[in-house]
Structure 1
Amino acid sequence: MTDKTRIFKKVRENWQKDRKMVLWDDRLSIWMSTKGTDLTRARKISVEDIEEVSLGTQSDIVWEKAKKKLAFHGDQAFTISFKLATRLAPLYLVADDAVTARAWVEGLSRIRDRVMRMTSRQRHTWWLWEKFKAADKDGNGTLTKSEVKSFFNSINLSMNPANFENLFKKYDDNKSNSLSWSNVKELYEELLIPNEVRNLYYKIAGEDETLQLYEFRDFLGKYQHYKNLTADKLKEMVMVFEPTATIDNLNDSDFEIGLYGFAMYIRSAKVIDDSCYKTMQDMTRPLTDYWIASSHNTYLLDDQLTGPSSTEAYKSALLKGCRCVELDCWDGANGEPIIYHGWTRTSKISFKDVITTVAQYAFKKSDYPVCLSLENHCHIPQQQKMAKYMVDILGDLLLRAPVDPDEKFLPSPEAMRGKIWIKGKKLKEPAADAKINKTDNDDFLIDDEVSEEDEGEGYAARESPVANGGQQQEEPGTQKKQKKTKKIKLHKDLSDLVIYTQSRHLKDFDEAQQNSDFRHISSIDDKVCSSYAKNQSRALLHHTSRQLIRIYPNKKKIDSSNYNPIPAWASGCQIVALNYQTACEEMLINQARFKMNQGAGYVLKPEFLREEGLLNNNFDINDTSTFPRSKPHSFKIKVNYFPVSLFNTFQIISGCQLPKPKQSNKGEVVDPYVKIRVVGPAVDDQPKNEGKTKSIDNNGFSPCWNEEFTLTTWFTELSMLEILVYDKDVGTKDDKLANSYLPFDCITPGYRQIPLFDKEGGSLYPATLFFHIEKLE
């Protein structure tokens, strides 16, 4: 980027205004004026929050409207899109010329890529530098005593006056009554080594208080559960955390790890090994054998009644690895189909723009197949236009024919790699003597009755009370059989695009087994699914072993809240659709599950949920006699100590740099405590499977709990460990500071750092917890 300060035209749907942007000296943040070009009124934008910087106007309603009011060339325009978790709207900007626009697009993209490639140590230094700069009020590069106190407060560290004075004098090496950046780094590194790590080091090192190579090897084998650790690999690890010379110049007796190097190793000891995320599963099995990352009402950015709709929501979901997105399609003005939440005040977006966005971003994150779940409310002419847009825009990406004409079950993700397939209603194959009516434009329209599911949203009932008997939906097995009177006509062009996942109403499981096949899919809400799982669990499991089923949030969740996806997954349900726009614990569980398998958006179900497993043992989630093991796994957890699996102890030892409540104006340091529990199917999700530590007063920097809990789980393949960190308050509700969700089958035993995240799933690094996980057979 040739010029770090520029004035751009900021564009919105209804206005355009000048804004000054500055790339900050650290090249990690941008400042943008919020009124005119006055940078004294500016907001900071972190480069790390940027999802993408794209040149041109793309296909976006904001740009379409801007072109009508502002004269500019497309190569002068660029868009800065942000990660969904930031809740920041995209910035639509116009530069004075194409050269400037391209320079900023390429420059910001390079900087963003560099930030994303930072090591954890580099990120830690960056984080510390940001805190140092914020405390340096006069900008002279040093911190006075009062500024050091502010610095301590910002990293959640409280210290009594005597200790503070001693520490300040120790690092004020030139007696200037201030600390430089290097002084603060050294001071911080001393504080970084908590007593728990220090005590562990000297326990392992023995009398000479130096950790030799063989002692480190024994520690890794006994406590960290390393297997087949070669001498060369061991030496490489030592060199990473305690670099002293080249390996070739050292004998085994020369290798040793000091206290600081050991602390760095402990900080790097991940509770989930990278191999759990990087290992690619078998992707050649039928689609029915996978959980599929799925979104409900993908177009919404907020609630279900008045929230805005945006193509950015599709982009964000796809970039998160979502493989099934929903399109609620309605007749729009000027013959153009639109997408919005019908009969509500949510805003409307163009169907064509959504398909264009899908074509651009479907395979950026994962190249495994994407499903477009159509909820079709359009009349015949706009149905035909929908089909034309999908064929023209998606082109070869669109699946137009069966993978194998002789197939007897659904194809695999591998066989459909790089393809987009359509879920929707399909006309029955006409009989030889069926009546065919020609339309005015010589396309064929088959008059056929296709039941209007409306995906259970209750709209058909609103439009025609007769359709649902004027009654609320009852639990499966108790409702009276009522035939919906509403029928629709379906254009053959749109019907022909539905190859697999042909929508079909689920009347009951016996009827489905007799009259439906692998190409069909049914949609039920989470309440109905829960009832099936409770009352007809075995039938539901066998149904999902042969056929796809889609679960979506009950219509009462108008605030776009979610439901726990694990019980649905435990019943074999594949497409468990959540509101991706909502930051909540359920979405964090979803994210934790689909980090696996290289983030492909597909995770192979355990064998006992697949057809061959059900045939072998007739598994029933509600009958322990059919479970794949004779007794549950037990986990002994010590906070500041964390053990796991056939009998496991979780010891919660300590925390590090826990955050303050978001947007908190409180000056005091937090009083943290930790809650843990098993989240999973009902047999695991029990009151006995939870624990809570005491709160630690005024210490968010290095709280120490040293408390131990025992949890059990029948299904490490399904359940997760939920870890929540709270700030104890008096007289008000305790603030939730952080969380982490860990799939039990990925947890690594030993002394481990637990990464912490905010409610949107954003990393709170360097905030961590220190657990020890011991696996007792």
Structure 2
Amino acid sequence: LTEDEDVRAMLRGSRLRKIRSRTWQQERLYRLQEDGLSVWFQRRVQRAPSKHIWRGPACRCGFLSAHTWIHSYLHRADSDQDSKMSFKEIKSLLRMVNVDMNDMYAYRLFKECDHSNNERLEGAEIEEFLRQLLKRPELEEIFHHYSGEDRVLSAPELLEFLEDQGEDGATLARAQQLIQMHELNETAKQHELMTLDGFMMYLLSPEGAALDEAHTRVFQDMSQPLAHYFISSSHNTYLTDSQIGGLSSTEAYVRAFAQGCRCVELDCWEGPGGEPVIYHGHTLTSKILFRDVVQAVHDHAFTLSPYPVILSLENHCGLEQQAAMARHLRTILGDMLVTQALDSQSPEELPSPEQLKGRVLVKGKKLPTHRSEDDRAVSDLEEEEEEEEEEEEAEATEQRRLAKQISPELSALAVYCQATRLRTLPPTPGVPQPCQVSSFSERKAKKFIREAGNSFVRHNARQLTRVYPLGLRMNSANYSPQEMWNAGCQMVALNFQTPGYEMDLNAGRFLVNGQCGYILKPACLRQPDTTFDPECPGTPRTTLTIQKALATLLSGHAGSVVWF
């Protein structure tokens, strides 16, 4: 071919005009490389001598084909080399390409692509999974803006992107370093170029995060009362799927703790052999032993965060198995379990997360001072159950309205989180009870916000509130937590097993402060005499300025948010 006059002319190079738009046109020197497969061009601006691989209809360089780089990773992740990918192998692949994805979301995507329904992806199923996984049109738009028709970023073009974002220390050397760190295609990397896939890997990596690096560690004041914090909270924590017929598993608790959850739910029912079990009552969900869940709490509650864990008990057990529950909590958790107040005085405010590091709190019913003759006290139904009866379950029977008894053994463990019903706002005047916790369905919480917003905020400045999804959400769907946070509700419980926009909001809320599961509420939600009303926020407001690329990333994700 080198004897061909046209090829020799291409090897010598020609000056061509590069046109991006009507207003952007630049002359470039283009020259065919000796490999006969790629084109080199020289910029005529001083700062940007670089090499580009030309992307055109006759290009045979290969690395610009979508996702061809992934095949080497597929081969490495395919542990048994059968050309089929189990979910375990898919997770290994995600780690290789630096994709940090929620296991539940990844598995749901895996199942959607498993058309053969054999728990394996192969051929076109793998390609579909990768397309769905890497589909980010908002990133493509940013990439194409800076790369132009070449569809690859040179180091100077990447530097231009970094400078536009106001990144500190943006230099050509930094851009070159990012290419070497995140570009997945070796040919592109050798030419100091970044493909779209490499660009996405960069933006989705810690180096591309919009989060202040200082906030990846605990930086907030952790010495204020518990009521002054948003607390990452899970609903029906034991479930891995639907609340009608899904699987219950201790692994679900492990996953919740791994996501920074600090309040988990235990639905406790009578089990065989005197052993209480956990499952979603009156459904086909599987059952797990209460003691196994407590063991999971002991083993995994503080692997990610040292701050206190709250066990929200929904108690449906009789006195004997309640005593068994108390026994398991004491023997398995030992010194982790809070069994008495930190001081002998009646607390005027809740202790702080710092004071309760490494401790487990039980949220449950507390026996009143007045007891019956057999030293047992008659208590109302668990407030969650009653709420569902009154607001959600029209078919509830009279039997379910019967009062339940609370054993003194279990009552003794409700120290700082004593479950109490709150019927109206503002509550009956009297001495504040900081250790009393109220639970509401999302419907009742919204009613309080709508009808008594400021009173609800003031209440939540002193006492803990837990909000949970309506029982009518049979598919374990979630509500938006933002409205509840705006009212100062601390424990806004979501179905962690259900990925989606709501869980993304939750993940974003608790991403900062070291992902410790506690976020200090804004001052207007902590002051006992605050005038803030979430329905009428008023002024002043904080103006949030978002730079162009980040705004593109966030576009289409606006919700009902009050920015503090």
Structure 1 residue matching 2:377: 3-state secondary structure: coil
User: Per the alignment, do residues 195 and 291 of structure 1 end up closer, same or farther by CA in structure 2, a change over 3 Å counting?
Assistant: closer
Give, in whole Å, the separation in 2 of the partners of 1:330 and 1:426.
Answer: 18
Q: How far did 1:550 drift?
A: 0.4
CA RMSD, aligned part only?
A: 4.2
Residue 260 of structure 1 aligns with which residue? 193
- Larger % of helix: which? 2
User: Structure 1 residue 197 and structure 2 residue 134: aligned?
Assistant: no
Aligned to 1:405: 344
**Residues 1:573 and 2:489 are matched in the alignment:** yes
Structure 1 position 355, deviation (Å):
1.1
Alignment of structure 1 residues 554-633 onto 2, 5 Å? 554-611=470-527, 615=530, 618-625=531-538, 627-629=539-541, 633=544
Residue matched to 1:415 = 355
- Offset, 1:351: 1.0
- Aligned to 1:30, what secondary structure does the other structure show? coil
Distance 1:385 1:317 in 2: 25
Q: Name the CA distance, whole Å, in 2 between partners of 1:242 and 1:87.
A: 30
- C-alpha displacement at 1:155, in angstroms? 6.4
2:563 corresponds to: 716
For the 8 Å contact 1:572–1:605, the answer to whether it is kept is: yes
Q: Say if 2:274 and 2:321, in contact at 8 Å, map to a contact too.
A: yes
1:180-230 residue CA offsets vs partner (Å, 9 max, x unmatched): xxxxxxxxxxx99955223599xx9xxxx9959xx96x9856x32245x5x
Once residues 253 and 224 of structure 2 are traced to their aligned partners in structure 1, the CA distance between those partners, rounded to angstroms, is 27
Aligned to 1:705: none
Q: For residues 457 and 196 of structure 1, do their structure 2 counterparts lie closer, same or farther at Cα, with a shift above 3 Å needed?
A: same
Residue 438 of structure 2 aligns to a residue whose secondary structure is strand
Q: Which residue of 1 aligns with 2:25?
A: none
Q: Which amino acid aligns with 2:324?
A: K
1:447 aligned residue: 376
Question: Deviations along 1:652-692, whole A, 9 cap, x unmatched?
Answer: 7xxxxxxxxxxxxxxxxxxxxx96141134xxxxxxxxxxx
Distance 1:194 1:224 in 2: 13
**More relative contact order, 1 or 2 (CA 8 Å, 6+ apart):** 2
Q: Does the CA-based 8 Å contact 2:245-2:284 persist in structure 1? A: yes
Would you say how many aligned residue pairs link Structure 1 and Structure 2? Answer: 444
What SS does structure 1 have at the residue aligned with 2:79? Answer: strand
Matches of 1:46 and 1:192, distance apart in 2: 32
Q: 2:77 aligns with which of 28, 39, 59?
A: 28
Q: What stretches of structure 1 of length at least 5 have no aligned partner?
A: 1-23, 33-38, 52-81, 89-130, 136-149, 157-190, 244-257, 438-445, 469-484, 644-649, 653-673, 682-714, 718-777
Contact conserved, 1:283 with 1:413, CA < 8 A, in 2? Answer: yes
In the alignment, structure 1 residue 275 sits paired with structure 2 residue 224: no
Inter-partner Cα distance in structure 2 for 1:619 and 1:266 = 41
1:30–1:44 contact (8 Å) kept in structure 2: no
Structure 1 counterpart of 2:91, from 44, 49, 66: 49
- Say if 2:383 and 2:439, in contact at 8 Å, map to a contact too: no
Asked whether the 8 Å contact 2:268–2:314 carries over to 1, the reply is yes
Identify the residue that residue 403 of structure 2 maps to in structure 1. 487
Of 240, 246, 271, the residue aligned with 1:301 is: 240
Is the CA contact 1:31–1:45 (under 8 Å) kept in the aligned structure 2?
no
Give the Cα separation in 2 of the matches to 1:448 and 1:521: 19
* Other-structure match for 1:237: 174
Take 1:151 and 1:496, find their aligned partners in 2: how far apart are those partners? 56
Secondary structure of 2:293 counterpart: helix
Equivalent residues in 2 for 1:470-549, closer than 5 Å: 486-514=402-430, 517-549=433-465
SS at match of 2:540: coil
Question: Which digits, 9 at most, give the CA deviation of each residue in 1:393-444, with x for residues without a partner?
Answer: 11121112222334321111111111111000011235xxx6653xxxxxxx
CA gap 1:545/1:194 in 2 versus in 1, 3 angstroms: closer
2: CA distance, partners of 1:50 / 1:364:
22
Q: SS state of the match for residue 427, structure 2?
A: helix
Q: Assess, with a 3 A threshold, how the Cα gap between structure 1 residues 266 and 85 changes in structure 2: closer, same or farther.
A: closer
**d(CA) in 2 for partners of 1:568 and 1:545?**
13
The CA distance in 1 between the partners of 2:369 and 2:141, in whole Å, is 70
C-alpha separation in 1, matches of 2:261 and 2:500: 17
Q: SS where residue 467 of structure 2 aligns?
A: strand
The CA distance in 2 between the partners of 1:512 and 1:498, in whole Å, is 22
Contact 2:461/2:488, CA 8 A, preserved across alignment: yes
2:179 and 2:192 in contact (8 A); partners too: no
Q: Which amino acid aligns with 2:145?
A: E
* 1:7 aligned residue: none
Alignment of 1:96-115 (within 5 A): none
Q: How does 1:699-714 map to 2 (within 5 A)?
A: none
Which secondary structure state, in structure 2, belongs to the residue aligned with residue 518 of structure 1? coil
> Compared with structure 1, are the counterparts of its residues 388 and 678 closer, same or farther at alpha carbon in structure 2 (3 Å cutoff)?
same
The answer as to whether partners of 2:270 and 2:318 remain within 8 angstroms in 1 is yes
**Matches of 1:453 and 1:152 in 2, distance apart?**
46
Task: Specify the SS of the correspondent of 2:329.
Answer: helix
Q: For the structure 1 residues 200 and 342, does the alpha-carbon distance in structure 2 shift closer, same or farther, using more than 3 Å as the test? A: same
CA distance in 1, matches of 2:280, 2:511: 30
Q: 1:624 to 1:634 in 2, by over 3 A?
A: farther
CA shift, 1:320, in A, is 1.7
Using structure 2 for the length normalisation, give the TM-score. Answer: 0.68
* Aligned-pair CA distance for 1:276: 6.2
Structure 1 residue 347 corresponds to structure 2 residue 286 = yes
Pair 1:521–1:134, CA change in 2 (3 A)? same
The 8 Å contact of residues 438 and 464 in structure 2, kept in 1 or not, is answered as: yes
**Cα distance in 1, alignment partners of residues 556 and 148 from structure 2:** 25
Q: CA deviation at 1:582?
A: 1.4
Q: For the residues of structure 2 that align with 1:134 and 1:277, how far apart are their CA atoms? A: 42
- SS of residue paired to 1:514: coil
Q: Map of 1:334-483 to 2, 5 A cutoff?
A: 334-406=273-345, 407-430=347-370, 437=374, 446-456=375-385, 465=397
2:168 corresponds to 1:321: no
Contact kept? 1:198, 1:259, Cα under 8 Å: no
Judging changes above 3 Å, is the alpha-carbon distance between structure 1 residues 408 and 43 closer, same or farther for their aligned structure 2 residues? same
1:512 positional shift: 5.0
Equivalent residue, structure 2, for 1:642: 549
Matched residue type, 1:83: D
Shift of 1:523: 0.5
Q: What corresponds to 1:312 in structure 2?
A: 251
Q: What amino acid does structure 1 have at the position aligned with 2:86?
A: K
Q: Residues 624, 195 of structure 1: CA spacing in aligned structure 2 closer, same or farther, 3 A cutoff?
A: closer
Q: CA deviation at 1:610?
A: 1.4
* Structure 1 residues 332 and 295: alpha-carbon distance in aligned structure 2, compared to 1, 3 A threshold: same
Residue 195 and residue 83 in structure 1: after superposition, are their counterparts in 2 closer, same or farther (change >3 A)?
closer
Structure 2: any 5+ residue segments left out of the alignment?
1-72, 94-101, 109-120, 133-139, 181-190
Distance change (3 Å), C-alpha of 1:377 and 1:592: same
SS in 2 for 1:522: strand
Render the CA deviation track for 1:37-74: whole Å, top value 9, x for unaligned. Answer: xx69x6534446279xxxxxxxxxxxxxxxxxxxxxxx
Aligned to 1:646: none
Equivalent residue, structure 2, for 1:551: 467
- 2:535 aligned with 1:679: no
